[in-house]
Amino acid sequence: MNSSSITTAQRIKAIVGGSIGNLVEWYDWYAYAAFAIYFSHSFFPDSDLNAQLMNTAGIFAVGFLMRPIGGWIFGSIADKVGRKKAMTLSVLLMSFGSLLIALTPTYKTIGILAPALLLIARLLQGLSVGGEYGVSATYLSEMASEKRRGFYSSFQYVTLIGGQLIALGIQLILQKLLLTETQLEEWGWRIPFVIGALLSVIALYLRANLHETEAFENKKEVSEKKKGTVTELLKHPKALITVIGLTLGGTLAFYTYTTYMQKFLVNTVHLTKEQSTLISFISLFIFACLQPVFGALSDKIGRRPLLLGFGILGTVFTVPLLTALSTTTSMWTAFFLIMAALIIVSGYTSINAVVKAELFPSEIRALGVGLPYALTVAIFGGTAEYIALWFKQAGTEQYFYWYITGCILFSLIVYAGMKDTKETSTLDKD
């Protein structure tokens, strides 16, 4: 199907189907972290809570390590056999992982098999979430009309943040309205994973009915040896290094102000758990709404000004913002400081997917977007929380603020040296 002949309704369907997997995958990813405190005792032998949580966190970390492998496998599948097939397979894998966690009997029932099945489920989810980003970023960018690519592809982060919001919302509903602490620990923790599996089935249905992109269809005659191989990818070293540099500061800032921020508000700012959850929920909701606004802005003025804005403001204001946040006693001051940080980060999150897609030719686009991104996220995004807590334990928490600043500065140097991909987009050659 020619992209210029696709109707608005079909594009909207492509956006929903293309990004819904992100919502499901991030919901599942976040649900694991959010409910670990309730289910850790079910999968490990009776010992102290800290040991059980460390074991659960260890399995969470292994999931992160699988992401680059997922980026490689699914990127290759998308470039060889199609974006749609790779996206469908990715969400099927996530569904299976969620269902496995929901249905696995406890350690008391099946012994060592319980943590083993939890590990298998998490490995599958890690593979799936690692593959999802590159494939859906490629799909959304290729399905968008030339003048609205920034706007369309920004919905990847809308649903990515939306997944966290749904997990947070379900946790609040279960905690406050439906279940007691004891019920949550005994069986209630299984509910979010059942919901995750059901959401995956909906995503699977939507994806099964999507159109394949014209960019992929046009390259069917290209030799199989050139499609989705690491050998072919290595012929584009500048684009590869650009993706790593582009992602480094942005992913660290994103993880700091989203997944880590709840713990920071409790541990460092000394707000209550309820206050920190509420701040996280409201700020993430506004952050999600900002993504299409920034994406549309990049369609008007270009991608580079937004990236430079994030790089400059992030380098200058990260230390002052986090320092002010760590010393405030007001819940609303904390909220406005986090919001200021998230507005700055939006210069990266809203457009990073389309910028990466615009760097690679279609025969290696999904692999080129997914693999270097997943590697960078696993190394810098995945370790953000650990490094932050390590500095805090050492009594030098402010060093973490400088670490983020240094990484954003590195990305700023990359942004300053790159051309505006809106003007040089490889998508225009498809």
Query: Within 10 Å of residue 330's Cβ, how many Cβ atoms?
Result: 11
Q: Which residue has the tokens 């005994």?
A: 186
Contacts 24+ apart (CB under 8 A), 314-320: 314/249, 314/253, 314/344, 314/345, 314/404, 314/405, 314/408, 314/412, 315/405, 315/408, 315/409, 315/412, 317/341, 317/344, 318/253, 318/401, 318/404, 318/405, 318/408, 319/398, 319/401, 319/402, 319/405
The verdict on residue 218 lying in a domain is no
CA distances from 421 to 137, 290, 346 (A): 15, 21, 18
Helix, strand, coil tally for the chain in percent (to 5): 85, 0, 15
Does residue 147 fall inside a structural domain? yes
Instruction: Give the pLDDT of residue 340.
Output: 97
pLDDT value, residue 206? 84
Predicted model pTM: 0.87
- DSSP letter string, 262-286: HHHHHHTS---HHHHHHHHHHHHHH
30 located within any domain:
yes
Domain that residue 285 falls in: 14-210+230-417
Using CB atoms within 10 Å of the CB of residue 244, give its burial: 0 to 12 exposed, 13 to 18 middle, 19+ buried: middle
Tokens 């370790």 found at: 383
Does 217 fall in a domain? no
- pLDDT at res. 351: 94
List Cβ neighbours of 230 (8 Å cut-off, separation of 6 or more).
Answer: 72, 367, 371
Residue 253 domain flag: yes
In a domain, 222, yes or no: no
Number of domains in the chain: 1
Return the pLDDT at 225: 66
CATH of the domain at 379: 1.20.1250.20
| Successive 10-residue mean pLDDT values, the chain, 430 residues | 62 81 83 81 73 70 85 93 90 89 91 88 89 90 88 90 90 88 91 92 85 79 72 92 94 90 86 86 94 96 96 97 94 96 97 93 92 91 83 90 97 94 85
Whether 103 maps to a domain, the answer reads yes
Neighbour-count burial of 288, counting CB atoms closer than 10 A to its CB (0-12 exposed, 13-18 middle, 19+ buried) = buried
Q: Which pLDDT does position 241 carry in this prediction?
A: 93
Burial of 327 (0-12, 13-18, 19+ CB in 10 A): exposed
Residue 406 identity (one-letter amino acid) = G
Do the domain assignments include residue 9?
A: no
